[in-house]
A and B are shown apart, each in its own frame.
Chain A
Amino acid sequence: MSKVRQELKTIEVLPNLTGVIIFGVAFAIRFILFQFSNITEILGNRVEIVTPVTSFTRLTEGLYLFDNGVPPYDGGAFHQAPLFLACFQLLSYLPNILIPLTYIIADLLIAYLLANITRIKQHLYKDFPRIDVELYEGKPKEIDPWIVSGLYLFNPLTVASCLSRSTLLFTNLSVVLGTYYSLRNNKSYGMFWIAMATYLSFYPLMLVIPSILMLTNNTNLKGKKIENEVYSCAGLYIGWLTGLFILSYLLVDSWDFMQSTYGVILLLPDLTPNIGLFWYFFIEMFDQFRSFFLVVFQLHAFIFVVPISIKFRNHPLFVVFLLSGIMAVFKSYPSIGDASLYLAFLPIYSEIVKYMRYNYLTTNIFCYCSILSPIFYHLWIYAGSGNANFFYAITLVYTVGNIILLVDSTFSMLRREFDIWNPELRHCEITQK
């Protein structure tokens, strides 16, 4: 079966007219919009788009302090990984245009990798049984990988997140790279990029398990023991992560950054509103219960990793989708950039869409939130005619919308599989045990 592996290494999505048009237009839109500095300014200040741990303003501040010899992690403003300092310091020596270009290229790279991931996924599922309706003249209907890129690139959430210069983009890029290399059975790169994503924003830690699942999928074919493979993956991951930490230590010459980045993500000292559940909950929380609920909320985000990975052990890519969805909703500082990542994974599994029951509802909820959240925030903060509950209500609706989408797609995946293995039960009433 080494042929499969060989194929995996070489499989590549071929450029076609659709692809070229999609990437060209996506680049043009971003490039033109980046020229309007007030658009990037406005988007870069929106609480829905940037959070204290991804804000470009705060990165600039950290960089300014770093350049002027003030320890950047000594203050309470900068909460991003030290490598950003090094990279953006380098960028600051180069022409100004490079910063927007970096963001645009990172976004396009994500889209390109998504197309490749789609192609690999289609290759892997080539021989997987299907239900009849998915076949068209005996061949399965597949989504064009470039459409997957297009859906990512033209998602308004992605565009807004890219234009806001949120550093979350680089976490997303690392996640997608990690997934891509894991699917290609490139253990070292796969683990490196997952370690990088973890290093940049901590939560992608949970993606280690699906990545290992992807990497160990065909070990028994190579005659290696699965345990050894898992250990070597975990070892690589820990090695890369330690390497990144040591590099950061050498860069800023203190371990303060651990407290200032991961400490902030875990302990939530900054209660700036975002579209997640944490901020208002912990603004309103009674002091004596704060630590308890903090532990519960953070555990809740991580608690799904193992059960989902077990349930969908044959579909590690779907696990990546679900876990990034869970991250996007239940992380401590979520933004729409997180949602754009997991929404990008959804069309890869386009076959489950017809099983989804609440598409209309979730679409409406996303539209409703996109319109009302800036309005309600304005009413609270600027007009003073509304209070914090207005914005809080919208974050609740947004979260519920995401939850419905995640649960619905999980349901569809399971239901479709049930139908595949039980075609004879198609006319029966199906419920849960």
Chain B
Amino acid sequence: MRNYLRSLFLFTLVFLTINGILAESRQPDKFKEALTIKPLSDGKLLTHFQFSVKHYGYKEGVVFSHYNFFPRAIGQIFQTYNVRELHLTFTQGRWNYEDWGYPFVPSAGTGVELWAWLWKDGKLDENWKSLTNALAGLFCASLNFIDDTITVQPKLSFRPEGPFNITELTERAELRYGSLPHENVCTENLTPWIKLLPCKSTSGIASLLNGHKLYDSNFHSMSIHVQPSCEEPDCINQQLEIIQTVSTVIDPVRNSGKRDWSLNNVFGRRLSQACPLAEESNLEIIIPEDGDYKIIPDADDIIQRSMDDTDDVEKKIAVYNLKKIEPDTELSMIWNEDQFEYNFNPVQPRIFAHRFFTGYGQERGGIKVNIFNKSPNISIPIIYYDVIPWYLKLYLHTLKVQINGKNTKLDAVNPIKDLYFQPAVDRSRPNVIEAEMLLPPNSLTTLSIKFDKVFLKYTEHPPDANRGFDIGSGIISTGKIDNDFLSNSTNMSLVTKKSLVEYMYFPIRIYTETLLVSLPTPDFSMPYNVITLTCTVIALFFGSMFNLITRSFVAFIDAGEEKAKKKIDSDKSNVQKGEKKDFDGENFDSDKSNVQKEENRDFDREKTKLEAEKTIDNN
């Protein structure tokens, strides 16, 4: 009976396991796509494409090789190099926080930004290097230039976007971050990006991705995020999710003077059918709160939702389901106005920042960051993060913090709660500043630091040396202020004691401007001349010194004078014998005897010569 039960139990177990595996592998990847359009307060238009594919049955450390919608190219790179999370963003232009508010996804600073959590497997740095190279090949970008001099490990600013357990994460994975501010983004990066989509650009909202229109914009950002995700709160079954986004900010006012837009004049294309593989395919328009406008045709549905993490205000959204829409539908929004009137008092986001260089000349300078906190009555915790390349030598002792133009020296009012600084090492790693700060309400906090510009070897300058070097954006991480924090922020001592990072999560990232610094240049046509001239000077010294040290002085003497001289010589040696003295213990008589010997030898030779050369070792 017991045997029977045991075999039944075993059988059930095997059945369940097999069933589970089959069920898991049977569950197909899920693909969702959405296009969000938002008229911005300065008349520009934000369009945001988001595509996400979820691969079910993903287990950390277990290699999967069956691909459905999930792009194989990314999946293979992801698994080969033991990546836990991957975030790659290509951006051109700068997100204008003051006019546009916060973007839907953290926009990255100009250029390319790559950050990834990699599993510690003994060859993590090698994997990171391979990862950058593989992605460089995949996206036709110069990601392979993210080498040791650029790579950093931020301590505070970046947390995984997917689910994570902080202790497990810090033990088993490490973060690597690299950015290339000078990288230009163009169609050669977009094409491989589109190829990763299940429907490519043949149908669905991806068919609107028209390179000609996309890059004719004030700002565009294209990104790939690969991260584990969970659908249940306890996170037993994980999925691997890839989120691809494209955001562009287009200026309809530039052409017509009005804010009117239609899909055709924004993208140069009309909407065709939805991607048949997509589970959801939506087009959403965030409806402005005021203004006289109409959207044609009418939306399928109007919902209310809050759009970004800082804003609790729910916004009205017109939703079009592309599964139901007619082919070649033209969607447009028409404002009842003759000319767009610029809004001079836009609603500013809570935190924004500007960064700029100070000083002049090519020898030294300074960096200044102005961080604004516009909230009228709450102190806001932020993390300021800045990577400055090694060719600017930062002096940490010159770091100054000002609040509303006043120096803060007292610790009580110092907004910097914790500071992590990694000084640069020439040709091997950059400067990293990470500061946890608490910004007082309605304030302008200014950080300033001075640096020396490094003189580079002529081979280290780029071909366009006088253009200068790009310095990547500084990043401010901040987040939604939760009530816990608010209740405690009155008690400042508690905040200073406890690390802010443990305290709250910082999902919003604000990127400052990238900067351009010109370094002193040598004359690039000079290598041969410099080698020649410097070596000549060295040879001049070596030659003259060698000459003086090795050759002794010689007098030309007539034979007639010789006899007279001999007499003097003998007199001299007598005199010298008499007054022979020690010079500090050193016997000068040895010198004298040398002189004598030389003279005797010379005298023999002189017999046969009329004019003789007399040498004396004057030493």
A interface residues with partner B (beta carbon < 8 Å): 1, 4, 45, 57-58, 60-61, 63-65, 68, 70, 74-77, 124-125, 127-128, 217-221, 269-273, 277, 279-287, 297, 300, 303-304, 307-308, 311, 314, 329-330, 380-382, 384, 387-389, 392, 396, 399-400, 403, 406-407, 410-411, 414-415, 417-418, 421-425, 428-433
User: B520–A380 contact, CB under 8 A?
Assistant: yes
Q: How far is the CB of A391 from chain B (nearest CB, A)?
A: 10
In angstroms, Cα B582 to Cα A4, docked, is 10
Q: How far is the CB of A98 from chain B (nearest CB, A)?
A: 19
Q: How far is the CB of A134 from chain B (nearest CB, A)?
A: 16
User: A396–B533 contact, CB under 8 A?
Assistant: yes
In angstroms, Cα B521 to Cα A272, docked, is 12
User: B586–A281 contact, CB under 8 A?
Assistant: no
In angstroms, Cα B619 to Cα A77, docked, is 48
Closest to A400 in B: B537
Residue B405 lies at the interface, judged by CB distance under 8 Å to chain A:
no
Residue B235 lies at the interface, judged by CB distance under 8 Å to chain A:
no
Residue B342 lies at the interface, judged by CB distance under 8 Å to chain A:
no
**Contact string, B220-254, partner A, CB cutoff 8 A, digits 1/0?**
00000000000000000000000000000000000
User: B426–A388 contact, CB under 8 A?
Assistant: no
User: B362–A382 contact, CB under 8 A?
Assistant: yes
In angstroms, Cα B553 to Cα A431, docked, is 6
Tell me which residues across on chain A come within 8 A of B548, comparing CB atoms: 407, 410-411, 414
In angstroms, Cα B544 to Cα A314, docked, is 21
Q: How far is the CB of B545 from chain A (nearest CB, A)?
A: 6
User: B551–A273 contact, CB under 8 A?
Assistant: no
Tell me which residues across on chain B come within 8 A of A399, comparing CB atoms: 537
Tell me which residues across on chain A come within 8 A of B522, comparing CB atoms: 280, 283-284, 387-388
Tell me which residues across on chain A come within 8 A of B544, comparing CB atoms: 403, 407
B interface residues with partner A (beta carbon < 8 Å): 360-364, 390, 393-397, 421-427, 452, 454-459, 520-523, 526-527, 530-531, 533-534, 537-538, 540-542, 544-557, 565, 568-569, 572, 581-586, 588, 591, 595, 615-616, 618-619
User: B538–A77 contact, CB under 8 A?
Assistant: no
User: A220–B545 contact, CB under 8 A?
Assistant: no
Tell me which residues across on chain B come within 8 A of A285, comparing CB atoms: 457, 527, 531
Q: List 12 A-B contacts (CB under 8 A).
A: A58-B395, A70-B396, A74-B425, A269-B426, A284-B527, A286-B527, A308-B549, A311-B619, A400-B537, A414-B618, A417-B618, A431-B554
Q: How far is the CB of B466 from chain A (nearest CB, A)?
A: 10
User: B456–A283 contact, CB under 8 A?
Assistant: yes
In angstroms, Cα B595 to Cα A424, docked, is 13
User: A284–B554 contact, CB under 8 A?
Assistant: no
In angstroms, Cα B426 to Cα A75, docked, is 8
User: B538–A75 contact, CB under 8 A?
Assistant: no
- With A271-B457, A433-B554 known, 16 other A-B pairs at CB within 8 A are A60-B397, A64-B397, A74-B425, A277-B537, A281-B534, A284-B526, A287-B459, A300-B542, A380-B520, A388-B520, A403-B540, A403-B541, A415-B553, A421-B591, A422-B618, A431-B553
User: A433–B551 contact, CB under 8 A?
Assistant: yes
Tell me which residues across on chain A come within 8 A of B361, comparing CB atoms: 381-382
Complex partner residue of A422 from B527, B530, B546, B555, CB under 8 angstroms: B555
User: B552–A432 contact, CB under 8 A?
Assistant: yes
User: A76–B531 contact, CB under 8 A?
Assistant: no
Q: How far is the CB of A192 from chain B (nearest CB, A)?
A: 22
User: B540–A425 contact, CB under 8 A?
Assistant: no
User: A127–B555 contact, CB under 8 A?
Assistant: no
- Top 7 closest pairs, chain A to chain B, by CB: A75-B423, A218-B585, A64-B397, A428-B555, A418-B618, A432-B551, A382-B361
In angstroms, Cα B449 to Cα A64, docked, is 14
Known contacts A403-B537, A432-B552; decide if A75 and B425 are in contact (CB<8 Å): yes
Closest to A384 in B: B362
Closest to B396 in A: A64
In angstroms, Cα B586 to Cα A279, docked, is 43
Greatest chain A CB density within 10 A among B422, B456, B522, B531 is at: B522
Tell me which residues across on chain B come within 8 A of A387, comparing CB atoms: 521-523
Tell me which residues across on chain A come within 8 A of B542, comparing CB atoms: 300, 303
Q: How far is the CB of A329 from chain B (nearest CB, A)?
A: 7
User: B538–A389 contact, CB under 8 A?
Assistant: no
User: B584–A217 contact, CB under 8 A?
Assistant: yes
**How many contacts A-B (CB < 8 Å)?**
202
In angstroms, Cα B528 to Cα A286, docked, is 9
In angstroms, Cα B563 to Cα A424, docked, is 12
User: B530–A281 contact, CB under 8 A?
Assistant: yes
Closest to B582 in A: A1
User: B549–A425 contact, CB under 8 A?
Assistant: no
In angstroms, Cα B616 to Cα A273, docked, is 46
Tell me which residues across on chain A come within 8 A of B584, comparing CB atoms: 4, 124, 217-218
In angstroms, Cα B550 to Cα A399, docked, is 23
Q: How far is the CB of B148 from chain A (nearest CB, A)?
A: 13
Tell me which residues across on chain B come within 8 A of A220, comparing CB atoms: 585
Tell me which residues across on chain B come within 8 A of A389, comparing CB atoms: 523, 526
User: A76–B557 contact, CB under 8 A?
Assistant: no
User: A283–B454 contact, CB under 8 A?
Assistant: no
User: A61–B396 contact, CB under 8 A?
Assistant: yes
Tell me which residues across on chain A come within 8 A of B427, comparing CB atoms: 269
In angstroms, Cα B554 to Cα A303, docked, is 26
In angstroms, Cα B5 to Cα A312, docked, is 106
Known contacts A1-B585, A76-B423, A381-B361; decide if A425 and B555 are in contact (CB<8 Å): yes
Tell me which residues across on chain B come within 8 A of A303, comparing CB atoms: 542
Q: How far is the CB of B120 from chain A (nearest CB, A)?
A: 22
In angstroms, Cα B453 to Cα A45, docked, is 13
Tell me which residues across on chain B come within 8 A of A417, comparing CB atoms: 618-619
Tell me which residues across on chain B come within 8 A of A329, comparing CB atoms: 541
Complex partner residue of A388 from B394, B397, B523, B557, CB under 8 angstroms: B523
Tell me which residues across on chain A come within 8 A of B426, comparing CB atoms: 76, 269-270
Tell me which residues across on chain A come within 8 A of B364, comparing CB atoms: 45
User: A280–B534 contact, CB under 8 A?
Assistant: yes
In angstroms, Cα B452 to Cα A77, docked, is 10
Tell me which residues across on chain B come within 8 A of A411, comparing CB atoms: 548
Closest to B567 in A: A424
Known contacts A284-B531, A425-B557, A432-B552; decide if A77 and B393 are in contact (CB<8 Å): yes
Q: How far is the CB of A132 from chain B (nearest CB, A)?
A: 14
User: A283–B397 contact, CB under 8 A?
Assistant: no
User: A314–B583 contact, CB under 8 A?
Assistant: yes
Tell me which residues across on chain A come within 8 A of B424, comparing CB atoms: 75-77
Q: How far is the CB of A379 from chain B (nearest CB, A)?
A: 11
Tell me which residues across on chain B come within 8 A of A76, comparing CB atoms: 390, 393, 423-426
Closest to A322 in B: B545
Q: How far is the CB of A405 from chain B (nearest CB, A)?
A: 11
User: B397–A217 contact, CB under 8 A?
Assistant: no
Tell me which residues across on chain A come within 8 A of B583, comparing CB atoms: 124-125, 127-128, 314
Tell me which residues across on chain B come within 8 A of A421, comparing CB atoms: 591, 595, 616, 618
In angstroms, Cα B423 to Cα A124, docked, is 53
In angstroms, Cα B583 to Cα A410, docked, is 20
Q: How far is the CB of A171 from chain B (nearest CB, A)?
A: 22
In angstroms, Cα B404 to Cα A184, docked, is 63
Q: How far is the CB of A128 from chain B (nearest CB, A)?
A: 5
Known contacts A281-B531, A307-B549, A424-B569; decide if A271 and B455 are in contact (CB<8 Å): yes
Tell me which residues across on chain B come within 8 A of A77, comparing CB atoms: 393-395, 423-424
Tell me which residues across on chain B come within 8 A of A414, comparing CB atoms: 548, 552-553, 618
In angstroms, Cα B569 to Cα A421, docked, is 10
User: A400–B530 contact, CB under 8 A?
Assistant: no
Known contacts A76-B390, A300-B538, A388-B522; decide if A271 and B456 are in contact (CB<8 Å): yes
In angstroms, Cα B458 to Cα A424, docked, is 59
Q: How far is the CB of A225 from chain B (nearest CB, A)?
A: 14
User: A277–B534 contact, CB under 8 A?
Assistant: yes
Tell me which residues across on chain A come within 8 A of B523, comparing CB atoms: 387-389
Tell me which residues across on chain B come within 8 A of A407, comparing CB atoms: 541, 544-545, 548
Q: How far is the CB of A342 from chain B (nearest CB, A)?
A: 14
Complex partner residue of B397 from A61, A396, A406, A410, CB under 8 angstroms: A61
Closest to A127 in B: B581
